[in-house]
Amino acid sequence: MKRVYIINSRGEKESFSLKKVYRSCRRSGASKTLSKEIAEKIKKMVYPGMETSEIFRLVKLFLSETSPNLLMRASLKEAMRKLGPSGFDFEKYIGEIFARNGFEVKMNQIISGFCASSYEIDFLAKKQNIVYLGECKYHYMPGERVDLKIALANYARFLDISKTPRFKNLNLKTIIVTNTKFTSEVVKYSKCMGLDLLGWKYPPKQGLENIIESSKLYPITILPSLKGYLKKVFAEKRIMLALDLLNVSPENLAKKLRLPLSQVEDLINEAEMLLE
């Protein structure tokens, strides 16, 4: 195939990759055969200057023709973007992911440093002797990245806190979690300094999307019926995962959230379809 240059989410030119389309389909749960068929269809439709958002729209269109649950899974990145625009809901969601992976999680902690009087920490996650100082960096616009100044500030804060008696006998770590990607400078610096990063496709094959998909910890915003004000309603009750809608009484949940029973039943049906 002749090389075709498309436009990515940052407005940059890049070569169209058949493998990327195939992998996107596979991540959504599509079979190898179906993923290959969709990739081949899109290869015939690609043209120079085509935007990756349009390519992804076609992927979702072809997946929807096969199964609604595949379509929902393919919308994971968009679902995380819908946790904004403030970023507070993203923090709650990440807290839930750590909690479901065996950590004791405390959100929005004020912690004293050795030199500075206090720091605001997005979340504190503890499992056995390991303690993470967690910083969430949510981005609403496609193509945005976590840059070096964030990593520098995070490490400086970590060094100050690590000198305090509170964490003397613990394995204290710091981690930056984002719904997007890190710049190459951040990755290089963090490897050098021993900082942990968790974001879209990072670490390779162990990124945030891998953790979500392998554990089925999908954000509730991935459900098509969760629109508008409903996101706030669920966030206020700390219901951040589609998984939370399983094995609940529709009537009790509707009463708790003060929502029409039909709306709750639609959401539960979608959650069951997604997680089957």
pLDDT tens, position by position, 186-201:
999 999 999 999 999 9
Q: What is the pTM of this model?
A: 0.84
How is the chain split into domains, by residue range? 5-70, 88-215, 223-275
Q: What is the DSSP letter of 122?
A: E
- Token pair 């050098």 is at which residue? 192
The low-confidence residues of the chain, meaning pLDDT below 70, are 1
Alpha-helical (H) ranges within the chain are 18-27, 32-45, 52-64, 68-74, 76-81, 88-100, 148-162, 184-193, 208-215, 230-236, 250-257, 261-275
88-215 CATH choice from 3.30.565.10, 3.30.230.10, 3.40.1350.10, 3.30.70.2200: 3.40.1350.10
* Cα–Cα distance measured from residue 275 to residue 69, given in angstroms and rounded to the nearest whole number: 8
Nearest to 230 by CA among 257, 256, 253, 251: 257
What is residue 37's predicted lDDT score, i.e. its pLDDT? Answer: 92
| 8 A C-beta contact, residue 198 and residue 177 | yes
What is residue 9's predicted lDDT score, i.e. its pLDDT? Answer: 81
The sign one gets for the Cα dihedral 171, 176, 179, 183 is: negative
* Cα–Cα distance measured from residue 27 to residue 50, given in angstroms and rounded to the nearest whole number: 23
- Classify each residue of 135-163 as buried b or exposed e, where b means 16 or more C-beta atoms within 10 Å of its C-beta: bbbbbeeeebbbebebbeebbebbebbbe
3-state DSSP call for residue 121?
A: strand
| 8 A C-beta contact, residue 137 and residue 177 | yes
What is residue 1's predicted lDDT score, i.e. its pLDDT? Answer: 54
* Cα–Cα distance measured from residue 231 to residue 226, given in angstroms and rounded to the nearest whole number: 6
What is residue 70's predicted lDDT score, i.e. its pLDDT? Answer: 84
